[in-house]
Structure 1
């Protein structure tokens, strides 16, 4: 490895840690992150479930969260297996890279080390997704302890405590899921290292810029933030089509 390789690897680790620290701070230039805003929406969802006895809607949402986490966990395992398969074809891949322009040919050992780092990246993502799946499972069990409406009215404090447990577990599970996704996204930037360290730093910076924009400057963030109240609708479509009392009087008078 050259000095540029060490610098690029240090840059990758530093910018990853810095971005994670930025998200834990929840704000950037006075803007709330998308992740933090969604945590508040999770709270609204769980507290809304206290006001209805039909919990099938909530269990379907829980199942959707678990299925999405399981999908990415399976994908990470396949990616790890692909990395090991790539190690078995080092000579062929290295020969291809050796003939490409702008590719720094650094030998078999360095190439295998880069593939091993990529496998470690996907392995980290798998553990995050696996732990998130388990926490979502715990969240489902905790959600089963949320009382019905009539029990909530009898003991509001106990009902709110049960809801807070579900909220906290759901937010933690969502946080691990987001960290696993972040590792998947950064693996795209990591692929630039197979070309040369300068492309590695460029692709990593590009991925971080895209993720920062999505977290703090995207339309998705604006969609879930507290916006202006909706305009007052005078009549819905059903009300417009339904005859009013005055219409009935006019009709009677006409008859």
Structure 2
């Protein structure tokens, strides 16, 4: 028997499987669905391409540089926050006895063994470590995009319009990849709230996972922002 998962009661094990299955499954499903139905990421990718087309027509790229810097500020903030959260969770794991005692004082909190409690803290830590790596990779991708913006030729320097369109496709796709990576980190932050519900009960963990995935779906495919981002008569 697995020394870590073996002591887990069946409801906790099912909740853990639902969490990871829902996370990975939703990410894959949302990516596939966005090819048939516009999502916030898909719509903003079209605007990123339009932005890159406009960038080639500007002699002065100060505005574009400021936009890239502003976009990279969000993943930088969340990456710094992730470090603080990870440090706090590691400190909690170093004093499990005291933290477990405090959690047991919370009404409706589940009474579990120290091993299971450590597993819950480890899950939260792993989520924020994953988020940290995604946010830092997003920052690097935005820096690569800034290089492309700086190197973009003026419209008159392209031999033909097809080359300018191809450059906009290439640069817009890179900016879109940075945004998608940032979105992965944000999704991890959302799901960390579902993981917190595990401290109360595995059933609360399952319900919270389903609720968070529903919120993510609504915001990505049915939000008012999505309707506002659509260009009338085009998409």
> TM-score when scaled to structure 2?
0.90
Q: How does 1:222-237 map to 2 (within 5 A)?
A: 222-227=227-232
* Correspondence for 1:104: 110
Return the alpha-carbon distance in structure 2 between the equivalents of residues 97 and 68 of structure 1: 32
**Please, which of 196, 200, 213 is the counterpart of residue 208 of structure 1?**
213
User: Is the Cα contact below 8 Å between 2:57 and 2:155 reproduced in 1?
Assistant: yes
Which is further off, 220-229 or 177-186?
220-229
Does residue 1:178 correspond to 2:186, yes or no?
no
* Structure 2, unaligned runs of 5 or more: 1-7
**Please, which of 129, 142, 149 is the counterpart of residue 148 of structure 2?**
142
* Correspondence for 1:245: none
- Do the aligned partners of residues 27 and 159 (structure 1) sit closer, same or farther apart at CA in structure 2, a change above 3 Å counting? closer
User: Is the Cα contact below 8 Å between 1:53 and 1:149 reproduced in 2?
Assistant: no
User: Is the Cα contact below 8 Å between 1:142 and 1:166 reproduced in 2?
Assistant: yes
Which deviations, in whole Å up to 9, do the C-alpha atoms of 1:217-251 show, x marking residues without a partner? 1100000013259xxxxxxxxxxxxxxxxxxxxxx
Query: How far has the Cα of 1:125 moved from its partner?
Result: 0.4
Q: What is the aligned length?
A: 227
* Structure 1, unaligned runs of 5 or more: 230-255
Structural RMSD (CA): 1.8
- Do the aligned partners of residues 150 and 27 (structure 1) sit closer, same or farther apart at CA in structure 2, a change above 3 Å counting? closer
Compare CA radii of gyration and give the structure with the larger one.
Answer: 1
Return the alpha-carbon distance in structure 2 between the equivalents of residues 157 and 97 of structure 1: 62
Higher RCO, Cα 8 Å, sep 6+: 2
- Do the aligned partners of residues 194 and 175 (structure 1) sit closer, same or farther apart at CA in structure 2, a change above 3 Å counting? same
User: Is the Cα contact below 8 Å between 1:146 and 1:159 reproduced in 2?
Assistant: no
Does residue 1:57 correspond to 2:58, yes or no?
no
* Correspondence for 1:163: 168
Return the alpha-carbon distance in structure 1 between the equivalents of residues 76 and 106 of structure 2: 38
Query: How far has the Cα of 1:5 moved from its partner?
Result: 0.4
